[in-house]
Amino acid sequence: MGGMPISVPVAENATVSASAPHLRDIRTTTLPNGLLVLTERMPHLRSIAMGVWIDCGSRDEPLEVNGISHFIEHMVFKGTTTRSAQQFAREVDAIGGNLDAFTGKETICFSIKLLDQNLPAALDLLTDLVLHPTFTPEDITREQGVILEEIKMDEDNPDYLVHELFTRNFWPEDALGRPILGTAASVASFTELIVRSEYSRRFTPANMVFSAAGNLHHDEFVDRVAACFASLAPGSGEKMARAQAPQTSPHITLKRKKSLEQVQLCLAVPAPPVASPLRYTAYLMNSILGGGMSSRLFQSIREDRGLAYSIYSELNPFRDTGSLAVYAGCSPANTRQVLDLTLAELNRIQQQPVTREELQRTKSQFKGNMVLGLETSGSRMSSLARQQMYWGRFFSLDEITAAIDAVTAEDVQMLAGQLLQPGHMALTLLGNVGPMKLTRADLGC
């Protein structure tokens, strides 16, 4: 598709001026077929990152096709109507590009990062990949074998397996609790008809966002994208139907696996969704508990007592729910002590306000990580797409910083009291747990 961009009528939705240094130069345009194009100009860079984002993921799959989103993500790399998989690899290398993709619970993304001078060639490659896959029966059969091996590999990884066991039991009646990869049975059942049907259902303009950031000009870039995506029909013009927010299930799961040297522990509670007004308080609380080397769990369990090498907490927000989970790996003999110390820290953050110094240090850490994380074209491109899909608007760094600074110690304590209730907790243990028995009373219920 190289050469001069073709001019196509477009509808300009919004423009964020870059006249003030603290504002991001973000512009959005909706193409005639409904595809939304987002750009952020970063003229000081020599790179461009661009991605096609699908606003649905594994949690939007019916049970019988669990894993189809991830399978389609793999299949588009098997060749298109104009290029073989080998040709793709060669052409990406020839322009010094970095082509990547991933599937999550709520999104699929295909992205490429490149030198700004190679934009036409890279856009042609990305467009061909997303819009013109062949999905031949032979490729489908081969890829089923590859993904079945990937499932086996992950099942041999205890860190991965404890996460999957926890998720499956935390949202037991919802697709959110199912594995992104699918199961051996579901993946083996995929046919060409299923793959093509699910691809057509997901890859529509209403479910897609094209985002880009780097040394580019919005109008020229939009013209190029419009020409490349002109063949993409508008479809229904509606997003995929969403299920209701899932119910969480407090539980205790002990999975005995004698071959493991360590016990993998996951202790979790429900948490606010991604767009919740409480999200900054939740992120700060998570950082205080287990978000770094100065966190309470790291200092108490690893540094002070040497009971674990890996101990951390993690906030996983989704569009309508979320989880706050503590993960640790320790010897079977130390499992009960690690659990008791973790519960003690969860109780302490509810009972005692965090100190001013600790809260300020955590805010500085969070803001620093956020700013450093937005210094590349790739991170800005991802930020654009995620903010559009979850909020429908874009936040300046000043706006986010102000919201973080507004969180008080009382806010953290109040949210901790709401979330960290023993009756909400789910515990998963994986490993050589021996005759260990746990009840809800052990969690303080």
Residue 317, sorted as left (phi over 0), alpha (psi -120 to 50) or beta, turns out to be beta
Q: Is residue 216 part of a domain?
A: yes
Q: Is residue 241 part of a domain?
A: no
Q: What is the pLDDT of residue 12?
A: 43
Q: Are residues 221 and 295 in the same domain?
A: no
Whether 343 and 443 have beta carbons less than 8 Å apart is answered as: yes
Q: Are residues 266 and 213 in the same domain?
A: no
Q: Is residue 62 part of a domain?
A: yes
Phi, psi of 79 (to 5 degrees): 125, 155
Q: Are residues 64 and 187 in the same domain?
A: yes
> Among residues 228, 262, 297, which one ends one of the domains?
228
Q: Is residue 3 part of a domain?
A: no
Indicate the number of domains in the chain: 2
Q: Is residue 361 part of a domain?
A: yes
Which of 323, 363, 348 has its CA nearest to residue 413? 348
Q: Is residue 164 part of a domain?
A: yes
Q: Are residues 330 and 218 in the same domain?
A: no
In angstroms, rounded to a whole number, what is the distance separating the alpha carbons of residues 204 and 288? 41
DSSP 8-state class, residue 170? H
Check if 73 is active-site: yes
- Beta bridge partners of residue 115, listed in sequence order: 47
Q: Is residue 6 part of a domain?
A: no
- Beta bridge partners of residue 431, listed in sequence order: 256
Q: Are residues 172 and 50 in the same domain?
A: yes
DSSP 8-state class, residue 93? H
> Among residues 228, 262, 279, which one ends one of the domains?
228
Q: What is the residue range of 429's domain?
A: 252-443
Mean pLDDT by 10 residues, the chain (445 residues): 36 39 81 95 95 96 97 96 93 94 97 96 96 96 97 92 94 94 97 96 94 97 95 73 83 89 96 96 97 95 96 96 97 95 97 96 93 91 96 91 96 98 95 86 83
Q: Are residues 43 and 173 in the same domain?
A: yes
Coil, helix or strand at residue 19 = coil
Between CA 264 and CA 273, with CA 270 as vertex, the angle to 5 degrees is 120
Q: Measured between alpha carbons, how far apart are the two ends of the chain, in Å? A: 63
Q: Are residues 292 and 428 in the same domain?
A: yes
Q: Is residue 235 part of a domain?
A: no
Q: Are residues 18 and 65 in the same domain?
A: yes
Q: What is the pLDDT of residue 126?
A: 96
Q: Are residues 350 and 436 in the same domain?
A: yes
Q: What is the pLDDT of residue 161?
A: 94
Q: Are residues 167 and 294 in the same domain?
A: no
Q: Are residues 284 and 426 in the same domain?
A: yes
In angstroms, rounded to a whole number, what is the distance separating the alpha carbons of residues 124 and 400? 35
Q: What is the pLDDT of residue 268?
A: 97
Q: Are residues 326 and 258 in the same domain?
A: yes
How does pLDDT run across 121-157, given as a tens digit for each residue?
Answer: 999 999 999 999 999 999 999 999 999 999 999 989 9
Between CA 191 and CA 200, with CA 195 as vertex, the angle to 5 degrees is 150
Output the domain CATH number for residue 199: 3.30.830.10
Q: Which of 40, 61, 73, 198 is catalytic?
A: 73
How does pLDDT run across 242-282, given as a tens digit for each residue?
Answer: 778 898 989 899 998 888 999 999 999 999 999 999 999 99
DSSP H stretches of helix in 203-299: 218-228, 279-290, 296-297
Q: What is the pLDDT of residue 242?
A: 75
**CB within 8 A of 423, min separation 6: which ones?**
250, 445
